[in-house]
Amino acid sequence: MQEAIDPINTSETMNVLFMFIILLVLIGYFTEQWLGYLNHKSGQAKLPDILNNIFSPERYKTYLKYEFESYKFTTLVSLIKFLLSIFMLLCGFILLDNFVSGITENQVFRGLIFFGILGLVTDLLFTPFDIYDTFVIEEKFGFNKTTPGIYLSDKLKTYLIAAIVGGGMLSLIIWFYQVSGNNFWWIAWAVISGFSVFMAMFYSSLIVPLFNKQTPLQSGLLRERLNQLATDTGFMLKDIYVIDGSKRSTKANAYFAGLGKKRRIVLYDRLIEEQTVDEIAAVMAHEIGHYKLNHIQKSILIGIFQTGIMLWLFSLLVHNSLIYESLGAVHQNFHLGLVIFMILYSPFSMMISIGMNSLSRKFEFQADKFSSGYVDSMYLISALKKLASNNLTNLTPHKLFVKVYHSHPPLLARIQNLIKIRN
């Protein structure tokens, strides 16, 4: 009788690995809950004097209610997501893998069907929650402008984009894996990097128009003011657009996107309605700061570097049969390997995201400083205060929550920084 190489030891290692995977999911979930709780408590703290005039007493009560409802809702959704992950690890992934294996022998099609079903079922499962969030919570606090028609068409368009972009990238990567063996990781890296640069350039002109209208700034007082600012800072006025964000929500924003000739600054229509000409100029100077200081290029470069490391690590693990067997799979396959790798990688991806958020907050301070070189920083302060009040922002987020999740510094820190620059 032939014996497999030390079967007891192998199955023990498999069990240990499986327990380790479950432990990672548990730690991830409880960390998230703990940080969310800290932030919720911190969000109810008494406001420091400097922030005291942002909310009227009435608005502050509304904020407290909104914060509490959002917190309860997020906690419920995370609990369901967590239970679903445990179910998938215990039997869901294997059941799905067996089903997919029965359909086709082709690894590319197997991967596509596996992730297609996984993505679609998960999304459909969470759609009722999303509908509740949009049409009940956001509606109750006066934020929602989305109609069921817009909601449905957004969903269908998102599915279509996910199928084309996600499906296309996944097919390519699995195909590289099949034809080039261990070399697949750097070929995939080159393709993903090229694609991310392409998307950074064309996102505003290819994807955004599927959902929103972007129109050039109309002539008038605001245009004249921004024209002056554009001349002062060396930015092209033709690259400033107004987006119809009010189609979905009353929450306002502004952002800078694109690279090189495809750069543009996008201002939400609500921002233009709510803010004075000087405040909008201050916000725009901040966005021009992101452009002048090459923040997009720097973020893309770091992102490309991280993707390379991730794919290389994945290439070291993808051939190891233990990781498939830990879930009970009998054969190696790319899609299960990817799922398990993403869980094993989650502590690193959390650390990377903390690092990226820290860098992003630094960029925000830099752009604020740039803005104050062209427009009196009192206007940026009042613009930020208005945005915070209208969006019912948590003005006192917890320090740890900010460190882990926030790409922007808390309002208080930005105001203090701007006052320091001004004096």
Indicate which residues carry an active-site annotation: 287, 368
Find the binding residues for Zn ion in span 359-378 (CB under 5 A): 364, 367
* Both tokens assigned to 408: 């922007």
CB 291 to Zn ion: min, Å: 11
Q: Is the dihedral of CA 366, 371, 372, 377 positive or negative?
A: negative
Contact criterion met (CB below 8 Å) for 307 and 189: yes
Q: What is the largest CA-CA distance in the chain?
A: 89
In the block, residue with structure tokens 């596996």: 114
* Both tokens assigned to 309: 């490391």
Nearest to 171 by CA among 252, 262, 107: 107
Q: Which is nearer to Zn ion, 334 or 363 (CB)?
A: 363
CB 41 to Zn ion: min, Å: 28
CB 159 to Zn ion: min, Å: 30
CB 411 to Zn ion: min, Å: 13
In the block, residue with structure tokens 């998960």: 122
Q: Which is nearer to Zn ion, 55 or 363 (CB)?
A: 363
Q: Which is nearer to Zn ion, 64 or 302 (CB)?
A: 302
Q: Which is nearer to Zn ion, 10 or 357 (CB)?
A: 357
CB 392 to Zn ion: min, Å: 20
User: In Å, how far from its chain's centre is CA 309?
Assistant: 20
SS3 for 377-421 is HHHHHHHHHHHHHHCCCCCCCCHHHHHHHCCCCCHHHHHHHHHHH
Q: Give the list of residues 6+ apart from residue 85 with CB closer than 8 angstroms, or none.
A: 25, 29
* Both tokens assigned to 229: 């600012």
DSSP-derived letter for residue 356 is H
Find the binding residues for Zn ion in span 309-368 (CB under 5 A): 364, 367
Collapse the DSSP code of 136 into the 3-class scheme (helix H, G, I; strand E, B; otherwise coil) and give the result: helix
Could you tell me how many residues of this chain bind Zn ion (CB under 5 A)?
2
Site string (43-62) toward Zn ion, x via CB under 5 A: --------------------
Rg (alpha carbons) of the chain, rounded to whole number: 24
Contact criterion met (CB below 8 Å) for 263 and 291: yes
Q: Which is nearer to Zn ion, 134 or 393 (CB)?
A: 393
Task: Determine which helix (DSSP H) or strand (DSSP E) holds 280, and give its type and residue range.
Answer: helix 277-292
Tell me how long the chain is. 423
Q: Which is nearer to Zn ion, 243 or 367 (CB)?
A: 367
Q: Which is nearer to Zn ion, 111 or 258 (CB)?
A: 258
Q: Which is nearer to Zn ion, 138 or 364 (CB)?
A: 364
CB 290 to Zn ion: min, Å: 6
Nearest to 351 by CA among 31, 68, 1, 12: 31
Collapse the DSSP code of 335 into the 3-class scheme (helix H, G, I; strand E, B; otherwise coil) and give the result: helix
Q: How many CB atoms lie within 10 A of CB 417?
A: 17
Q: How many CB atoms lie within 10 A of CB 380?
A: 25
Q: Give the list of residues 6+ apart from residue 406 with CB closer than 8 angstroms, or none.
A: 357, 361, 397
Per CB under 5 A, residues contacting Zn ion are: 364, 367
